[in-house]
Amino acid sequence: MAPTPVRVVLLCHEFGEEFARAAAERPDKLHLLRRGAEGDYHVAKGLLEVGGTPAVHYWLTALEQCARLMPLEESVYLLCNDTNRGDFVEWARGPKGGKGVVGLSEERIISTGPGGKPGLQCVAELVRNEGLDCHLFVIDCEHVLGPQANVVRLLEHAMIRAKNTIVTCPARAGQDVANYGLLELDTAAAGSNPRVLGCEPLCEGFAQGGESLALPLVVLRKSALPLLLEFPAGLEHSHNSLQQLVAAMARSGTCYAIRTETVFSLVTFESYEQADKFFGYYFRKKKKLLEKTKKTSSRRPDSNIGAVIRGDQQIDRQLDAMEKELLSRKEGGGGGKAEDEVLQLFSDFMEISGGPAVASKGPRPIPVRFKNAEGWKHQPLKQHAVFQTSNNVYGAKKPSQQEMPLKWNGIRGEFTKTFGGGRYRDTSFNTSKTTSRVVNMREDF
């Protein structure tokens, strides 16, 4: 018996009106706007470039690695609206578009109408119109996972466990949860695929830290299609419609969760800008590590990085360690402001890696030596009373806590951190005095 096929549904049906208004106020971001047939401007969320790559391109490239979906061009549907379908068709025809990834045809780019429909209703209409009788992997392209996320692992895990599965990730303190919703998981059960006990899809406010976010990435089994077809009629709200379906499945005990580490939102202009900068910095960092690997791969094994690891293995280990360190930091962000969930993460990333700051953040921590003036070892130099200098008089006074700095902006030491070692080589100018034998002879005469 042949296995049941899996079809991928990429949701790109949102208008992005508020996003377009915010981008229009920034002269350096006008390239994000697209002109419609009636002369109005809009934003095709799925074509927003994150680190130089469109979001939909990011998802297609990640899904290319899954053998279960091959041939991928026959497994993917892209749902858009009447306004932005022309943008996606043009993208698919271009050299950097769908044909450069999986050969995405225009027949697979389906408009859901004038727009405004909930994502779940768009999926239900696709299933009904195309007569789909298979498993579904529904992806909202207003969100992308972290650079190191393994999309194939998420899908394969759900398929092997044969469960309806929603992807989740831990919330950070101060993170706005309105675009996700929260999951209640069965933490008592062992394993990496806990059962979803409940889902709150229409919640507002900011996370305390550690809650399980309900991401709009859902794997639906074939047995869940009847519920999918009838559920849109009972939607409480058009917002977070996929999460509302998960809430219904959770009440019947038929939904499970699988965890990833990071998610980046493209819903608002501010969240997109931070995600774009984060990905851009990440790829530049990876390029530098690759260049460094090529230079150090020819060195002896007992170099300062330990055993030399060639290729991308060393790069991935370093980036994994960096990402793990960042994710372990639970500093609050926002203070009640609707900031992007990666704003604090990105600021921390810039601080740790020594890159340029792009987000407002407080002063750097005060060094320990400035926190307690009593701990200073004060040993003033004694001078002769007749020849005592004013600097010595000033330095003889022991510093008090009132004289300690309240802010610290010391140097980061990028050169010391990036110095790769090697034997000393003198390349300086010759500044010594040049002597002349003729002049010396005349002086002696």
Mean pLDDT of the region 356-364: 40
- Beta-strand runs (E) in 221-373: 255-259, 263-265
DSSP result, 405-437: -S-B-----HHHHH-------------SPPP-H
Quote the CA–CA distance of 182 and 244 in Å, as a whole number.
Answer: 11
Rounded to the nearest integer, the mean pLDDT of the chain is 76
Q: Nearest CA to 310 among 328, 318, 324, 298?
A: 298
Which residues, other chains included, contact 80 with Cβ-Cβ below 8 Å and sequence gap of 6+?
12, 13, 44, 46, 87, 88, 109, 110, 111, 112
Query: Does the pLDDT at position 131 exceed 90?
Result: yes
Residue 44's nearest CA partner among 55, 28, 59 is 55
Q: Higher-confidence residue: 301 or 387? A: 387
Q: By the 8 A CB rule, do 14 and 23 touch?
A: no
Six-digit token pair at 125?
């209409």
Q: Which domains does the chain have, with CATH numbers?
A: 6-267 (3.90.550.10), 270-361 (no CATH)
**Token digits for 31?**
């390239």
| pLDDT above 80: residue 71 | yes
Highest mean pLDDT of the ranges 24-38, 148-162, 319-333, 373-387: 148-162
Res. 57 pLDDT band, cuts 50 70 90: confident
- Given a cut of 90, whether residue 206 has pLDDT beyond it is no
Q: Which residues contact 117 (CB under 8 A, 6 or more apart)?
A: 13, 238
For residue 80, the one-letter residue type is C
Do 300 and 142 contact (CB within 8 A), yes or no? no
Task: Identify the helix (H) or strand (E) that includes residue 86.
Answer: helix 85-93
CA angle (160 as vertex; 253, 9 as ends), nearest 5: 80
pLDDT at 328 over 50: no
Kind of pairing, strands 212-220 and 109-111? Answer: unpaired
Alpha carbon distance 215, 208 (integer Å): 17
Over pLDDT 70: what percentage of the chain? 71
Considering 172-176, 223-227, 289-293, 399-403, the range whose residues carry the highest mean pLDDT is 223-227
Q: What SS3 state is found at 410?
A: coil
Q: Does residue 114 have a cis peptide bond before it, meaning omega lies within 30 degrees of 0?
A: no
User: Rounded CA gap, 168 and 199, in Å?
Assistant: 11
Tell me the pLDDT band of 109, cut-offs 50, 70 and 90: very high
Cα–Cα dist 138/157, whole Å: 15
What single string gives the DSSP state of each residue in 110-172? Answer: EE-SSS---HHHHHHHHHHHHT--SEEEEEETTEEE-TT--HHHHHHHHHHHTSEEEEEEEPP
Phi and psi torsions of 190, nearest 5°: -80, 160
Selection from 63, 77, 29, 92 nearest residue 276 by Cα: 29
**Dihedrals phi, psi of 408, to nearest 5 degrees:** -135, 125
In 36-102, DSSP assigns E strands to 41-42, 49-50, 53-54, 76-80
Strand stretches in 260-342, DSSP E:
263-265
Q: Are strands 143-145 and 263-265 parallel, antiparallel or unpaired?
A: antiparallel
